[in-house]
Chain A
Amino acid sequence: MIKIENLEKIYRTDEVQTKALNNVSLEVAEGEFVAIMGPSGCGKSTLLNILGLLDEPDGGSFTFAGTEVAHAPERRRAALRKQHIGFVFQSFNLIDELTVAENVELPLIYLGVGAAERQAKVTRVLEKMQVMHRRNHFPQQLSGGQQQRVAVARAVVNSPRLILADEPTGNLDSSNGNEVMELLTELNEAGTTVIMVTHSEHDARYAHRVIRLLDGQVVLEHARA
C-alpha cells in the first residue's frame, strides 16, 4: 500500500542544514500495523507527516496505493488525505469550539457526505468508541482518554484505508492508553492499515512490525511475534 524509496528530508536554517530523513526506504502492506520508534529528533514525526501527505520530501519516491505522490500538488494531497487517511495525534487536536459530534462530523463534511448519512455515521462511530453520551459536550469538558477516543472516532468515521497515529497514548494514563491501543488493534483487525509513531515499547507490542529510526535512518526493522 505504501512504498517509499530513498526518502530524504532536509531542514534548513540560515546557517545549519539538518537531514531529518536520510535515504529511508520501507514498504507497508495493506492491513499491516507498523510501529515507528526511536529517540526524540530521530525523524519519526517527519516520516509520519510525509506518509500523511502533510509534508513533502526533498528527495526519493513515495508511492501511495500505487500512485507516486511525493510531489503531488496540495489539492491532490488534500483529496487523498480526506478520502484515505485518518490522523490521531498525541495532543488530540480536537477543535475547542466544536462539540464531540461536530468534531467527528468534520471529515464527512469535507467529503461532501449528506447530512442524514453524516448523522448516522457519527452516531455509529461514537457508540463504537463509547462516547455517545458525550456527543454534545465540548472537548475541554472531557477527560484525556475520552478526548483521544473522540479523536480516534474522527479518524475512522470516513472508514479510511490508513490510520496514522502520532504518540496516541503520549498524553494518557496507562489504562486510558491501553484502551486506545485496543481500539487501534480492533480497527487494524477489521482491515485498516495502522502506522503509529511511539516512544512506548509497551504500545509497540500491539504492532506487527517495528521500525527503529536513528538520526534519520532506519537502523532496525523487525517483526513482532
Chain B
Amino acid sequence: MLQHSLLLIYRNFKRFRTTFFINLVGLSVGLAGALTIYLWVHDEWSFDRYHATTGRLFQVLENQRTAEGLNTYGTAPLLAEALAEEMPEIQYAAVATPPDFFPGLTLVAKGKTVRADAKFAGKDFFHIFSYNLQQGDASQVLATKTAAVLSQEMAAALFGTAANAMGKTVEWQLADLKQTVIVTGVFGPIPPNSTDQFDCVLSFDAFKDIMKMGESIDWAQDGPFNTFVVLHEGADEAQFQTKISSLLQRKLATNTERALLVQPYADMYLHGEYTNGVPSGGRIEYVQLFSAIAVFILVIACINFMNLATAKASRRLKEIGVKKTLGASRFSLVAHFLAESVLMSFLALLIALVLVELLLPQFNDITGKHLALAFTPHLVFSALGITLITGLLAGSYPAVYLSGLRPVEVLKGQLAGSVADLWTRKGLVVFQFMLSVLFIVCVWVIQGQLAFVESKDLGYDRNGIVSFEAAGRAQQQPTTFLAELKRLPGAVNASSMWGSLVSTYGAGRPVEWEGRKILANNLSVNYDMLETLGITLKEGRSFSPQFRTDSVQIIVNEALVASLGLQNPVGQLLDNQRIVGVARDFHYESLHEKVKPFIFRLEPQTAGTILVRLAPGREQETIGRIQQFYAAFNPGQTPLTYHFLDEDYQAQYASERRVGVLARYFAGLAILISCLGLFGLTAFTAERRRREIGIRKVLGASEASIVYLLSRDLTRLVLVAIVVALPISYWVVQQWLNGFEYRIALRLWYFAGAGVLALVVAWLTISTQAIRAARVAPTLYLRDE
C-alpha cells in the first residue's frame, strides 16, 4: 500500500509540475524562515540556562516606592551575607557588582598591561555560577581579599598559560585606585549565551574596604548591587518567596514601602523589564513576536498547499472516485493525501536546510548572533517535528475535503463544491493576504519610527563626539589630561565623566525634597561637560572652576524641577548638594522613555570616560592626534579604542533595527509565498474555465474581458483581505509604537500604501496567468472537449 501510494504521489508530482514547484518553493521558503527563527528563538531561550544550579538560582531585587510608582532595582551591598544567615533554605549567596558598573580596569603584571572587564564578587560566586573554573577551587578562589580569578585569555596574555598564572601577582588600576592581587583561579571562555561577560573577578571584601562599607548590614541601606542566591535542593521556593518579600518590613520595623523580590536568574534575560514592581516583559516580546511570524509564514505556505490541492481536485477526481468505488476506506484516502503533503514538506525541508545554511551568515549579521546549523539531536528532532507538523497541517484540509467527496458525483466529474468548502478556500486566500498586508504596514511603520529616532532633536548634539575609556595617568590626572587634550588642533572641547550618557545603569538614586521622594539618574562629570555635549541651560550657570562652593555642585534638568515641584531651584540645596543650574531636558535614555529627572554632579576628579567634541570635517585626523597624544601621555597602557557617541545612541535601538530588517525580509517572504499561491490558483481557474473561455471568445469576447473574468474573483478576495487587515494592522503597530514615549503619528498612507502595494502585486501575479489564458486560440480549448 505504501509503495503504491509513493508511486502515485511521485507521478502526481510529475503530472502537476507547476503546482509541485509552487508548493515546493513555498514550503521550502516557509520552512527555511521558520527554521532560522527557531534557531534564533532557541538561542534566546538558552541564555543563562547552562549553570548547574539553574532552577535553584535566583537574583534578589528590591522594589521601592517613588512618586512614579514602584521601581525595581538592585540591592544593598551586604545583603547576600545577611540573607545566607537569615534563611536556612539558602545554600549559597553572593553579591556582585553589576555588569558595566565600572569602565574596564587595567591589569599590570610582569611589565605587561591589559584592559579587562572586571567585577567584584562574593566568595561563593563560582559555586553559584558554572563559569568553567579551569584552575583553582570554587570554595577557595575568592576566599581572600587579594584574590583574583582571571579568564583564560587574560591569564594567557599576562603569563603565557593558565597554569603559569596561578599564584602570580597582578596589579589592577582604576582611576586613582589600585591593588595588588594574587591569581587564585582561571576560568575558561564564557559561552556566548551568557548575559554576563567579564575577564576578571575580584574579591568583594576588597571592594568593601575600598568603599569603606563596614562589615555588617544596615537594613536601611539600599544599592545597585546584584545579589544571587542558590536554594538547597528540595527547598520550598514559594515559601522562600513569601519570607523574603516581608524581610525588610520585619527588619526595619517601620511601615516601609521597600520590599525584596526574587526572580529565577535564567528568566531574567528574557523577562528583564519591570513595571510597577512586577516583571513586564523584555526580550521575550521579540521571541514571541518572531515565533508568531515563523508560524504565520508556515501557515501561509500551508495555505498554498491546501488551496492548490483542492483546486486541482477536479483533475484528480477520477483517481479519488475509482479508489472509493473499489472500496478504499476514507482512512486510506486521508492517509494517502497526508502522505503526499508530508512527503512534500520533507522534500521542502532538504531545500530549506540548504537555504538556511546559505542565509545564516546574513541572519547572524542582522541579529548579532553566532548561530550555526549544527545537527544536534535537539535541532534534528525539532526540524523533523516542525516539518511533520507542517506536512500534516498542509495536507489536513485537502485530505478531509477530498476523501469526503461522494464517489458517484466524483466519477460524473461533478465537484460537489459545497458552499462551506468554497468559503474555506476563499477564506484561506483572504487570510494569506491579510497577513501580507499586516507585514507591509509593520515594515513601513517600523522604518518610519526608526527614521524619526534618527532625526529627532535630542536636546544635545550627539554628532562629532568621540568617547573612550581613560586609563592610567589619564584617569589619575584628568585635569592635566583634559587641558592638554583641548589644545590639540581639531578638538573643540572635552570633558570626562563616570559611566555613560546613554547607559544610566545603576545610576538611579532616590532624592527627596520636602517629603516628596523621586528617583533621579546621576552622572558624575567634569567641567565643560554640558558645553561639550551642547546641552543648553534654562537658568543658572554651568559648572565653572571660578566658583567654589562649600558643597557639591549639581545641575538638574527641567524634568527634575517639575517632578519635585521646585520653585526657584537655582541656589537651593538638594540632599546637601547645591543646584547651580537647570539644564533643558535632553534625551539621555532611548525614546522609549520619557525624559526623567536627571542630575549632573560635578566631580572633577572622576575620569572613567572621556568625551571630545571634534571639529566638523576633521574627525579622522583629530582622532589620530588624540591617539598619539594618549599614547604619549599614558606610556605602557593599552592603545586607546574609541567610539562615537552617535554609535552608542544608535545601539539603543539595535533591537528595533533588527526587528525592522527582519520584518522587511519576512514581509517579502510572506508576499512571495502568497503570490505563488495566487499564481497557481489563477492557473487552475483558467484551466477549469477553458471551455467557457473558448465559447466566450467564439462569441466575440475581447482578451481584456477574459482577463477581467479570470481576475475578478481573486482580486475581490485580495480587496477583502486588505479591508480586514487594515484595522488589525492599525492595532498591532499602535501597540508597538506605544512602547515609545516619543513616536510618529500613524498616517493614512502607511495603510493605504500597504493596501495598494498588496493589490498591485497580487494583480500583477493574477494578470500574467489570465493574459496567457486569454490569448490562447479558442479552437484549442474547444477541441479538448
Contacts and interface: CB of A to CB of B under 8 A. Distances in A.
Interface in B394-424: 406-408, 411
B327 A74 contact: no
Contact of A95 (B319, B330, B406): B319
A94 B327 CA distance: 15
A94 B330 CA distance: 20
Contacts of B324: 54, 78
B15 A74 contact: no
B329 A78 contact: yes
A110 to B, nearest CB: 5
B318 interface: yes
A222 interface: no
Contacts of B406: 55
Interface in A75-125: 75, 78-83, 87, 89, 93-98, 102, 105-107, 109-111
B319 A106 contact: no
Given A93-B411, A98-B7, A54 B327 contact: no
B318 A74 contact: no
B697 to A, nearest CB: 27
B321 interface: yes
Nearest to A87: B325
A97 B411 contact: no
A95 B325 contact: no
Interface string A43-85: 0000001001011000000000000000000110011111100
Given A93-B321, A95-B319, A97-B12, A109 B4 contact: yes
Interface in A145-190: 154
Contacts of B332: 110
Contacts of A98: 7-8, 11
Interface string B1-40: 1001001100110010000000000000000000000000
Contacts of A80: 327
Contact of A83 (B321, B327, B408, B411): B327
A111 B329 CA distance: 11
Contacts of A54: 324-325, 407-408
A43 B9 CA distance: 37
Given A79-B327, A81-B326, A83-B327, A97 B4 contact: no
A87 B328 CA distance: 14
Nearest to B407: A54
Nearest to A94: B322
A49 B15 contact: no
A52 B327 CA distance: 11
Contacts, number: 67
B232 to A, nearest CB: 60
A55 B409 CA distance: 10
B323 interface: yes
The SS class assigned to the B binding surface is helix
Interface centre among B324, B327, B329, B406, by most chain A C-beta atoms within 10 angstroms, is: B327
Contact of A96 (B1, B15, B327, B407): B15
A154 B327 CA distance: 13
Given A54-B408, A98-B8, A93 B327 contact: no
Contacts of A52: 325
A107 B4 CA distance: 12
Interface in B259-292: none
Given A89-B411, A97-B8, A110 B328 contact: yes
Contact of A107 (B7, B8, B11, B327): B327
B331 to A, nearest CB: 9
A74 B325 CA distance: 11
A106 to B, nearest CB: 6
Given A102-B7, A109-B1, A109-B4, A96 B326 contact: no
Nearest to B327: A82
Interface residues of B, number: 24
A92 B411 CA distance: 11
B3 to A, nearest CB: 9
Nearest to A84: B327
A102 B411 contact: no
Given A54-B407, A93-B318, A96-B15, A82 B326 contact: yes
Contacts of A96: 15, 318-319
A152 to B, nearest CB: 14
B4 A102 contact: yes
A97 B330 contact: no
Interface in B558-572: none
Contacts of A49: 408
A103 to B, nearest CB: 8
Nearest to B322: A93
Interface centre among A49, A80, A111, by most chain B C-beta atoms within 10 angstroms, is: A49
A34 B318 CA distance: 27
Contacts of A106: 4, 322-323, 326
Interface centre among B4, B323, B407, by most chain A C-beta atoms within 10 angstroms, is: B407
Contacts of A78: 324, 327-329
Contacts of A82: 326-328
Contacts of B322: 93-95, 106
A97 B316 CA distance: 10
Nearest to A151: B322
A74 B406 CA distance: 10
Contacts of B408: 49, 54-55
Interface in A10-62: 49, 52, 54-55
A154 B332 CA distance: 19
Contacts of B411: 89, 93
A98 B3 CA distance: 12
Interface in B527-579: none
Nearest to A97: B11
A83 B411 CA distance: 20
A90 B561 CA distance: 94
B326 A75 contact: no
Contacts of B330: 74
Contacts of A74: 330
Contacts of B15: 96-97
A76 B321 CA distance: 17
A9 B325 CA distance: 20
A75 B325 contact: no
A81 B8 contact: no
A179 to B, nearest CB: 22
Contacts of B4: 102, 105-106, 109
Nearest to B319: A95
Given A93-B318, A97-B8, A98-B8, A107 B407 contact: no
B19 to A, nearest CB: 14
A79 B327 CA distance: 6
A154 B322 CA distance: 11
Nearest to B15: A97
B408 to A, nearest CB: 5
Contacts of B7: 98, 102
B319 A97 contact: yes
B16 to A, nearest CB: 10
A97 B322 CA distance: 13
B785 to A, nearest CB: 14
Nearest to B325: A87
A110 B325 contact: no
Interface string B276-316: 00000000000000000000000000000000000000000
Contacts of B407: 54
Nearest to B10: A97
A201 B328 CA distance: 34
A98 B7 CA distance: 8
Contacts of B11: 97-98
20 contacts: A52-B325, A55-B406, A78-B328, A78-B329, A80-B327, A81-B327, A82-B326, A87-B326, A95-B323, A96-B15, A96-B319, A98-B8, A98-B11, A102-B4, A105-B4, A110-B323, A110-B327, A110-B328, A110-B332, A111-B327
Task: Report the 4 A-B pairs with minimum CB-CB distance, sorted nearest first.
Answer: A82-B327, A97-B11, A81-B327, A107-B326
Given A49-B408, A81-B325, 10 more contacts: A54-B324, A78-B327, A82-B328, A83-B327, A89-B411, A93-B321, A94-B322, A106-B322, A107-B326, A110-B329
